[in-house]
Chains A and B, each alone.
Chain A
């Protein structure tokens, strides 16, 4: 690996005492971390995957049912529309982030990398502020902002003469999911901005000097020097956005409730999983944990497939 060159060779071993790098006692340092990680992450993860093949009452899932839970999700008259709805909505949620959040992030990073721009530190700090807020707080705050009766957003729209646009943004089936996706993009745009910024800062100064000597325009510098460095980073950002979005829950829960109201139009895999496997359907409140585990497994498989696909995509471009 990285330190292959200073691996303990025979010469070094005499400094260290014989074989100290290979003493089994090192394992004791790893043991506590490994134990917690295996017991509360690796094991429950695998066990949850297994539970997707079971059904039962409440906490006791003792009846093996093969792929029944999956069949229900894919084709049951009552369940399948909810599942496919949530699945599709999660993709929309993801698409908005890719389009808005990551394009803005890229643009902000390019702007902030301009050395003659003043106030870069201020803008950077501001852009990143929402990423430090709790997602629920962000969701609630924007829910109030967008309130159809008293929200400042519509108040402002009315005052500047755009009354027609003063819609109940979180009450219409067409607008709810896009608006929630935009709020979430507002919150997380700082992450791609900073990732792209870090990549841009890694470009050696003399590239720009050479470009200047050659009389390159600002756009040429972006196209020929900056973008080639940013492309592999786009892969990283894409993967990060994908895992984040397919794991999302809080923002929809805060702004549209556990049902993704109105009429499930903002329901995503996270909220559907919560309703099905954990909270239980209103008004009965008894969760179907086996079905929930199946939703989690599908989310997991989608994540895995997506990450691998994006890796391949960006790897081939390098």
Chain B
């Protein structure tokens, strides 16, 4: 416990400190919110109006940008692909990580501990370093330029964090509970399914959100693995549309707005879980 001596003119100093905090945080809030405000507001204006008065809300909003995105670009294809691969990967990561974590917590042999460490090593290593060989592997498997080729990569990528979060959570579940279920005659899978999984819901939510943001926003792997229009994910599509529309700011901003708003709304609804999920890895280290 640190020792504190000397009093001071604490009260007045604190009030000044508060004012400074409001100022700094307020300015930062403006710096964060204004670009997003401009993105959304200007996606409803014709380009000429954007250049003349970017800061105001348009009195006569137009939807040309959005129409353009849906009609000229394959936006719906990108959107569908992203939803599909993201949902599939998240469900896969949750199932595989939960099964493995369950065993890693209860299987009491040295090998299990070694495997835990092996998984945790993955937290340190960015998967992109493996890119060259992944391309060659996927080509060999016939999965290059296929949306589904992303699935095993996202599963592998989600494993270290998923297993870390879930093993930590399973360790907090009292063993007596598991033993009681065992006495009642439940097998290890019944115990997993009926006892562990329902209890682990908050941790599963953390895993889901962490992967949702990472996979939904991923550009790298679609960029290096996918070329065909029909297989593109949303972020890869956004880079294409950004180039295609270029000087047509209305459409460009409509594209960015459409790509951002779904996650943004989800974040505003579940902000506590998002913050927990995205900082989980670091805090629990």
Asked if B80 lies at the interface with its beta carbon under 8 angstroms from chain A, I say: no
- Which of B62-70, B200-208, B274-282 is found at the contact surface with chain A? B274-282
Asked if B97 lies at the interface with its beta carbon under 8 angstroms from chain A, I say: yes
Chain A proximity of B124: nearest CB distance (Å): 6
Instruction: Say which size band chain B's interface belongs to.
Output: 35 or more
Interface 1/0s, chain B 94-122, versus A by CB < 8 A? 00110110111011110111010011001
In this complex, what residue of B is CB-closest to A114?
B21
Among the listed A2, A42, A127, which residue makes an inter-chain contact with B28, where contact means beta carbons less than 8 Å apart?
A: A127
Contact assessment for A289 and B132 in the assembled complex, using a CB-CB cutoff below 8 Å: yes
Asked if A77 lies at the interface with its beta carbon under 8 angstroms from chain B, I say: no
Interface 1/0s, chain A 156-179, versus B by CB < 8 A? 000000000000000000000000
Main secondary structure of the interface of A (DSSP, over half): helix
- The B-contacting residues of A in range 129-147, CB under 8 angstroms, are 129-137, 140-142, 144-145
Asked if A316 lies at the interface with its beta carbon under 8 angstroms from chain B, I say: no
Contact assessment for B156 and A125 in the assembled complex, using a CB-CB cutoff below 8 Å: no
Contact assessment for A36 and B256 in the assembled complex, using a CB-CB cutoff below 8 Å: no
Instruction: Say which size band chain A's interface belongs to.
Output: 35 or more
Q: Which residues of B contact A315 (CB under 8 A)?
A: none
| A23, B102: Cα distance in complex, Å | 14
Chain A proximity of B117: nearest CB distance (Å): 11
Contact assessment for B249 and A150 in the assembled complex, using a CB-CB cutoff below 8 Å: yes
Contact assessment for A37 and B17 in the assembled complex, using a CB-CB cutoff below 8 Å: no
- The A-contacting residues of B in range 226-285, CB under 8 angstroms, are 235, 238-239, 242, 249, 252-253, 256, 259-260, 263-264, 267-268, 271, 274-275, 278-279, 281-283, 285
In this complex, what residue of B is CB-closest to A147?
B249
Contact assessment for B242 and A140 in the assembled complex, using a CB-CB cutoff below 8 Å: yes
Report 22 cross-chain contacts, Cβ distance below 8 Å, ordered by A residue: A7-B108, A15-B182, A17-B182, A25-B188, A29-B192, A30-B107, A32-B96, A36-B96, A36-B156, A44-B134, A48-B133, A117-B18, A119-B25, A128-B278, A131-B278, A141-B256, A191-B282, A216-B4, A225-B2, A249-B128, A303-B124, A307-B124
Q: Which residues of B contact A (CB under 8 A)?
A: 1-10, 13-14, 17-18, 21-22, 24-25, 28-29, 31-33, 35-36, 38-39, 50-51, 54-55, 96-97, 99-100, 102-104, 106-109, 111-113, 115, 118-119, 122, 124-137, 139, 152-153, 155-157, 159-160, 163, 171, 175, 179, 182-183, 188, 192, 213, 216-217, 219-220, 223-224, 235, 238-239, 242, 249, 252-253, 256, 259-260, 263-264, 267-268, 271, 274-275, 278-279, 281-283, 285
**Closest 6 A-B residue pairs measured CB to CB?**
A215-B7, A26-B107, A29-B103, A33-B100, A134-B217, A40-B156
